Structure 1
Amino acid sequence: MKRLLNAAFAATTGISVWAASVAHALPEQGGVGMVPAGSALAEEVQFFHNGVLLPIITVISLFVLALLIWVVLRYNRKANPEARKFSHNTMIEVLWTGIPIIILLVISLPSFEVLFKDGITPDGKQVVSRGDGQTVDFVFPNDFPESRMVSRAGHLQVILDDGSSRTVLKHKRDYTVDGWGERNLVVSLDNPAPSGTSVIIRGGRSTQNVSGCPMAKRYFDGCEKEVVLAPTMTLKVNGYQWNWQYSYPDFGDFDFFSNMLPEDQTTPELYRFEVDNRVVVPVGETIRVTITANDVIHSWALPNFTLKIDAVPGRINETWFRPEREGIYYGQCSEICGVRHSFMPIAVEVVSRPEFEAWVDSQRALAGLEPMFDTDKVKLAQAADADAAAE
């Protein structure tokens, strides 16, 4: 019945929970690299692996291989029939102690930053004002906890939006700030914002590189940074033997179970990946994920977002992600939880905000709840998106 209702909803609105038109972010058959990143934070994690760890490991492996070959050729019994006898070498002791310490520091410093970003749920916020062609001073309430207050330029973004394009202003070149670390920051533009232009001020301690930053810039920390806003919704995950239960407490607390589709109901490519009910989230918004388990330990893993968090009975764990691109992303339970452990896939569909709101109302209807959003407005937005895509 639920699938029939969803099919009817898809026919009237153009949205299908079961067969989306967006690309599937699947692992490449025979591939050795990581799956495509679906978020800016995932890009940073992948850069840390590919741009920091992999070169270091490669150099160390080649160096050790060269040493082994040299020792085998130079000090075998035939080339060196009389072995040397000595107890120690001070220089070698210093080198093989000091160099690994330096290597570990090179690895640890960027890893701490990535771990911090991944482990702390963002709490950034934004204030939107309207330019009138005269006003240059705008107030940003810095009402975060003391340890999270905006205290330097890296914690603040100022954006001008005229409705068709956005311009990110530069600190000291386009604006100045008075009151760092105080309860109210005064942002003073060098030139008044044009009338009708939105002045967007974002502040918060959680920042990340802008998505798509080239690797060459990452090496020198030259990427443009952006403030990550606080979550707009919470996704509750509950692990069972052997499926997942999802609920959306911000939208009426409706819930549903997600099971792996049988082989005869999907394609060979998607078998063991596709599910009967996907998680649906809006693109470009921060999603808080709270997770627990009903019976044994499970693990909710989404490689495209570099997410992996344990679902432990009697305990609630929390993580977050912010999808940057629409699409369907797949994961698996990554904690052996019983004989059907490999039959617990995860499918997350990232859609536009209008599509998400329409999907929420469809789920509320299935749960016997009234619509939360203006469905006519949602349909008009979808039609506009479809026309734009056709052009």
Structure 2
Amino acid sequence: MKKILSGLAGLSVLAASAAYALPEPGGIDMQPAASALAEEVHFFHNGILMPVMTVISLLVLALLLWVMVRYNSKANPVAQKFSHNTLVEIIWTGIPILILLIIALPSFELLYKEGVTPDGKQVVTRGDGQTVDFVFANDFPDSRMVKRADHLQVLIDTGAERRTLKNRKDFKVEGWGERDLVVSLNEPAPAGSSVILRGGRSTQNVSGCPMSKRFIDACEKEVVLAPTMTLKVSGYQWGWTYSYPDFGDFEYSSNMLPEDQTTPELYRFAVDNRVVIPVGESIRVTTTARDVIHSWALPNFALKIDAVPGRFNETWFRAEKEGVYYGQCSEICGIRHSFMPIAVEVVSRPKFEAWVDSQRALAGLDPMFIDDNVKLAQAGASAAAE
């Protein structure tokens, strides 16, 4: 009975999250981005690849039409006789090289951001209305140390408002590249507020930056913090097993819901047990497989990583919005390959912690996040029952 009640508690924790993202029938655009990194991928596709492909396609079409009209047998009965043209050969070799460079440079940056797990960290200090100097321990490896302004963010959180300060305008920094950075505010932080120092080489554009600013690389940058948790994913024919090694020895399987247990819209997307993660936090994902190669893919996060037997692959993502996001296995793995959906529910931190405690209860483990007073009350209730 205890396990049943704990399971129901876990379901009630997540019942309020109704928003979900699905591919649209007949849609030609990518699914809405739910992370800042996915927004950068969409910009690369829509703002760089598509214009380049469109121009090339129109140019080739125009050349074909021009050749068909200008050099057909009626318009040009005497064929031209020449073997080569040095200028033309230089042009059709040089221009493709430039095009490839235009495509390659931003794609390399994206591949780096997706492939390297962020290692940023933050230090939170309470403001007292007088102190202006704060120290950030620059204890990264030498190759990852904070050495310039875009590697450091300073924020003031009063509880009602969070404000990002501007370098030189609102604060100055001494000791770039040294083990201790001293951040000096131009004005003391209000008493009771939080002074947040975020540092690291892992940076990305802030979410919601318009395309016009992306073209000129004028988006505000933010430091991406290191993962707060690891999600371990194991694929099998035909479903997924998930575990949360940071929160205890529990795991569960996730399989597609039968057609009679869900709606027509969600059939082949809905699962019996969703992945649950907190919003706004970096999540490390490790994948493997029991039998054949699978692929864990979430289009809303521009995420796709193979799950290979006998091997661990690693990636990461950070969800910016709460809701339910769907994906599917993207590696043909057998006759029921198309019946391996993925469902990830993004919730607030308190709801995530309540869900973790419910899963720990199902596994016979003590709560990890529940309030101490509640623990004492539960202990007293169980003692009285005995």
TM-score of the superposition, structure 1-length normalised? Answer: 0.93
Q: Distance in 1 between matches of 2:168 and 2:20?
A: 43
Per the alignment, residue 98 of structure 2 pairs with 102
**CA separation of 1:3 and 1:266: change in aligned 2, threshold 3 A:** farther
Pick aligned residue for 2:311 from 315, 321, 329: 315
Amino acid at match of 1:234: T
Superposed CA RMSD: 1.7
Question: Matched residue of 2:256: which SS?
Answer: coil
Unaligned runs of 5+ in 2: 375-386
Unaligned runs of 5+ in 1: 379-391
Question: Matched residue of 1:61: which SS?
Answer: helix
Pick aligned residue for 1:331 from 327, 330, 334: 327
Structure number with greater CO (CA < 8 Å, separation at least 6) is 2
Residue 179 in structure 1 maps to residue 175 in structure 2: yes
Per the alignment, residue 377 of structure 2 pairs with none
Residue 138 in structure 1 maps to residue 134 in structure 2: yes
Residue 260 in structure 1 maps to residue 224 in structure 2: no
CA drift of 1:22 comes to: 2.6
Residue 15 in structure 1 maps to residue 38 in structure 2: no
Residue 343 in structure 1 maps to residue 325 in structure 2: no
Pick aligned residue for 2:370 from 367, 370, 374: 374
Q: Distance in 1 between matches of 2:46 and 2:373?
A: 44
Per the alignment, residue 58 of structure 1 pairs with 54
Q: Distance in 2 between matches of 1:350 and 1:143?
A: 32
Q: Distance in 1 between matches of 2:215 and 2:2?
A: 50
Per the alignment, residue 121 of structure 1 pairs with 117
**CA separation of 1:375 and 1:263: change in aligned 2, threshold 3 A:** farther
TM-score of the superposition, structure 2-length normalised? Answer: 0.94
Per the alignment, residue 381 of structure 1 pairs with none
Per the alignment, residue 192 of structure 1 pairs with 188
Residue 222 in structure 1 maps to residue 218 in structure 2: yes
Deviations 1:223-249 (A, max 9, x none): 111000000000000111111000000
**CA separation of 1:162 and 1:377: change in aligned 2, threshold 3 A:** farther
**CA separation of 1:328 and 1:195: change in aligned 2, threshold 3 A:** same
Checking the alignment, whether the CA contact within 8 Å between 1:302 and 1:308 is kept in structure 2 is yes
CA drift of 1:111 comes to: 1.1
Per the alignment, residue 387 of structure 1 pairs with none
Checking the alignment, whether the CA contact within 8 Å between 1:22 and 1:326 is kept in structure 2 is no
Amino acid at match of 2:164: V
Question: Matched residue of 1:15: which SS?
Answer: helix
Most deviating of 323-332 and 184-193: 184-193
Checking the alignment, whether the CA contact within 8 Å between 2:289 and 2:310 is kept in structure 1 is yes
Most deviating of 255-264 and 131-140: 131-140
% of aligned pairs identical? 76
Deviations 1:118-156 (A, max 9, x none): 110001000011112221111000001111111110100
Per the alignment, residue 232 of structure 2 pairs with 236
> Between Structure 1 and Structure 2, how many residues are aligned?
374
Question: Matched residue of 1:52: which SS?
Answer: helix
Q: Distance in 2 between matches of 1:106 and 1:173?
A: 34
